[in-house]
Chains A and B, each alone.
Chain A
Amino acid sequence: MFSHDEKPSHIRLTAFQYVILAIFLFLAYGLWRLQVSQNDYYSAAAERNRVREVPILAPRGKILDRYGRTIVDNYPSFTALLMRDSSRNLNADADVIAAGLHMDPREVREKIRHFESLPQYQPIYLKEDITPDEEAFVEAHKSELPELDTIMAYRRLYPRKGFLAHLIGYVGEVSEDMLNQPQFELYNPGDVVGKSGVELQYNQLLMGTNGSRQVVVNSHGKEVGEALDEKPAVPGKPLKLTIDVDLQIAAEEAMEGKNGAIVAMDPHTGEILAMASRPTFDPNDFSVRIGRSDWAKLVNDPDKPLLNKAIQAQLAPGSTFKIIMSVAGWQEGIAQNMHVICNGSANFYGRNSKCWVYFEHRTHGDVDLTKAIYQSCDVFFYTLADRLGIGRIAKYATAFGLGQKTGIDLPEEASGVMPSEEWKLRNFRQRWFPGETISVGIGQGAIAVTPVQLIRAISAISMGGRMVVPHVVNPTNLPSGFVEVGRYTQVKEIPVDPNGWNTITDAMDRVLTPEGTAFSAHIPGVDIAGKTGSAQVVSLALRAKHENDENFAQNGWFVGFTPKRNPDIVVCTLFQGGEHGKLAARIATQVIKAYVDKQQRQPTSVARATTGNGQVEIGALWTASDEEGAADKLGGGRIRVDLSKKPPVLATAAPGLGGVN
């Protein structure tokens, strides 16, 4: 027993002090061993034995069209750099280097000076994306200018002029925010990933896995000897789209100079054969890093070039909605026997609503469903809408997919709006007024659709009720387990009365005849059925007052297909500011014509070039600009190439035929 204050044994405390002393002597010995006794060995080791891990870049998977033709590829991009070996006077060589690299000598000197404050192992990056002759210069001067070297990285090569830009998307360095999200856990800072379009949607497939090499470097960072260990890179897998380049070219040329979007789809499967949005942008600008001012220009452009209007533009469909109205009306037993006298306007709920013929000082006279469709009579559909009521209209429209995303395999799809009583209560806490139904009946008012939604709905109707899921990649072309195949191949049959189907499609078939609204778009010898739409941005009366004001110009819509029942192809066009649906129709029928033309010839296929000279026909996307500049245009389908010509210079010319050899 002792008092609280009896301190622990003095001996034990002292013992501790000796233990501490022993520990320190032990550590001092450790230091002596390394720094005094074996100093020479370790100094030499410091000079020699350094191991660094150098990444082996994995090339990103190519993107191909449905026939395997290359749309997007990679190209090796070389950067010229200066190694900072202290024995060389870099400034003395600056002039020679500048000349060989086509740079201003002052710029070279400036870079040398700028890098002086950084550690020696950091090389000076002089110029990115150097041309082959600049590469040759570096190679040729290896002994006179040993400090000059190159390093290679793969860059994405996209088609010119923004071809298929929105659907393809672009790549860029993974951002901080992305890295923090769980699905990007395995990516490292500096990795290049897809940022939009299929590049993003299928990034996991396209992006390979970088390998690495463990190399020995000397104290100046230069590799010496052989690689110690090598883990090969796993290249990204190619992605086969459902797009047909020939149709895409026709679509892009048809949309040239206009704003809007165009979609072509196979109504049996939902495969997208062509998709374009205007205005467009050049994804090559994004290939590694886009400049801030260029980015700002794209983002602030009021025509929204970065928007993929095919899936993101949400606009009133105008008269194209009348087709859905027709199905609704027939299924409810109202439309088949309905007759209306169109005097150019009608009164509903205290308002006088006009038919478009009013502004041409005409009337439609006696209208039945068929005439209402091919003449697009507003009064008929006001009446039909009133009799159906918004509830039933919404039921059928929703059944055909309006107001919901289609589920297409592209990011950021918009869902559109299909109004109803519940919708208005939920979003505006107001009751639905029957007067609003009238506008919806002709595809105006609160209703908003995307081109891809509209094409799916009309396609379903043309197929007698077959609702497909639009997609740009056939899931059977993907590695098993990558995506749930059923998600895109599932088909829903919506019951449509066969008589109604016949009547409506027959009526649509007359739209492109002289009695219809889109005769000017007809293609001789091709049976095209469709529906035009002119969606007002402001009221027709106001529009008539401001005839020449562009801001008030209507949007033109057209959905067309051939043949008139169980068609082979459906095309939907949105022509912003196009005023009349028939102008949109002309765009669409050009694509249909390209399709029909193609069907009637032999399908093209990619021919592997042989080692012989002479001409080879291949389905290529780009043509290189030869010396005369003669071939500098988009070409597709049948292209003849003279292989005896030398391959073009990569960095300065358009994407060339370097892949085919």
Chain B
Amino acid sequence: MTLRDFDWVLVAFVLIICTLGVIEIRSATLHTKFAGVHVKQIYWIMGGLGCMLLVSVINYQTLLEKVHWMYIAAVTSLMSVLVFGQKYLGARRWVKLPGGNHFQPSEWVKLILILAVAKYFADLQHRELSWSDFIKAGAIVGVPMLMVLAQPDLGTALTYLPIAIVGLFLGGISWKQALAIILLAGLAMPLAWHHLKDYQKQRLVSFMSPDNDPRGAGYHVRQSEIAVGSGGIWGSSSGSQTHLAFLPEPHTDFIFAAFSEEHGFVGALGVLLLYFIVLMRLTQNAQTAPDRAGTFIVMGVVAVLTFHILVNIGMVVGFMPVTGIPLPLMSYGGSSVLFMFLALGMVMNVRMRRFVN
């Protein structure tokens, strides 16, 4: 196991995306009060690289053996947020900080969840899932998900779903079972709607018809579309939406909109291509994984990544409601960057041991 086993190709593409992100953050914050944060992002990325190295060093098999403890720690940390976190939030009413100024537990819980799901499905003896397996798997993901939901943080809670989905799918779920879930979800929709907070409802409503209320909740959606659309094929010369502060959160949630405005269809498609290459590369690492668990781990990362990209860029082009989910590797924010590199570290971990038996 040498340094050659490291997936340098993957690292290279990831760093290209990160660099584009930093450049865009700088451009988007140039004359604002956030000027200079791109430097922080560089530090996060470097820190992330270090973390990635660290994580890849410990054999993931060892980690998997300890996953029960990690899971308990994860749930405890989410509990502590529910108990202590409220008090901090009570007295302050600031605009939400991009990505969180500190590492939110819900982020690293995601990592542990990937491991936990991988271990669970790896240990299963059947090719197909029994109903009890199915429910147990649901609980493993469901419990932390509900705790995050209670924070309340709907967006992050939803990012736990892809881990469950990919686990179930690769774990051998049958069509019947899949259908059952879809039906259940459909029935639960009205109940879920009732429990949504007002602003979340607003977001969904304005997503459906943004022109209904272009000055209110539909504002973000519309502004994003305008920014992206005005980019044209080669990019807008003035980049006015980003630079005149009409595009909200240009360095965090809407960074892709800022990028698309400045670099047009060509640039945006290029970035999409880069992400696609990264995902394909990751999948390849899944296929060459030495064991079942390894595959699950890598695919868990792929699922989360894909979900983020789908939801964020989908939001930017107006296909998805506004959710506050960052674009991995490009959006400004320590939590997001660190999570990505830790996840990549897990992937490296698996890959580096692909010849080991």
Q: Which residues of A come within 8 Å of B, CB atoms?
A: 1-2, 4-10, 12-13, 15-17, 20-21, 23-24, 26-28, 30-36, 38-39, 41-43, 45-46, 49-51, 118-119, 121-122, 180, 182, 185, 214, 219, 221, 228-229
Contacts and interface: CB of A to CB of B under 8 A. Distances in A.
A175 to B, nearest CB: 16
B114 interface: no
Contact of A27 (B170, B290, B314): B314
Contact of B227 (A7, A46, A219): A46
B276 A13 contact: no
B215 A20 contact: no
Given A119-B31, A214-B215, A35 B166 contact: no
B238 A219 contact: yes
A20 B269 contact: no
A21 B231 CA distance: 24
A28 B268 CA distance: 8
B232 interface: yes
Interface residues of B, number: 63
B37 interface: no
B324 interface: no
B292 A8 contact: yes
> Which of B214, B229, B243 gathers the greatest number of chain A CB atoms within 10 Å?
B229
A35 B264 CA distance: 7
A17 B291 contact: no
B229 A4 contact: no
Contacts, number: 150
B244 A20 contact: no
B134 to A, nearest CB: 16
5 contacts: A2-B127, A4-B122, A5-B291, A21-B276, A228-B215
Contact of B226 (A4, A8, A10, A42): A42
> Which of A5, A38, A42 gathers the greatest number of chain B CB atoms within 10 Å?
A42
Contacts of A15: 169
Chain A interface mostly: helix
Interface string B1-37: 0000000000000000000000000000001000000
B279 A20 contact: yes
B295 interface: yes
B263 to A, nearest CB: 10
Interface string B276-292: 10011001001101111
Contacts of A45: 226, 229-230
Contacts of B135: none
B343 interface: no
Given A7-B291, A46-B227, A229 B215 contact: yes
Nearest to B313: A27
B317 interface: yes
Nearest to B123: A4
Contacts of B227: 46
Given A4-B292, A16-B283, A23 B233 contact: no
- Nearest 5 pairs between A and B by C-beta? A42-B229, A30-B317, A34-B229, A46-B230, A8-B170
Interface in B293-310: 295-296, 299, 302, 306, 309-310
B283 A13 contact: yes
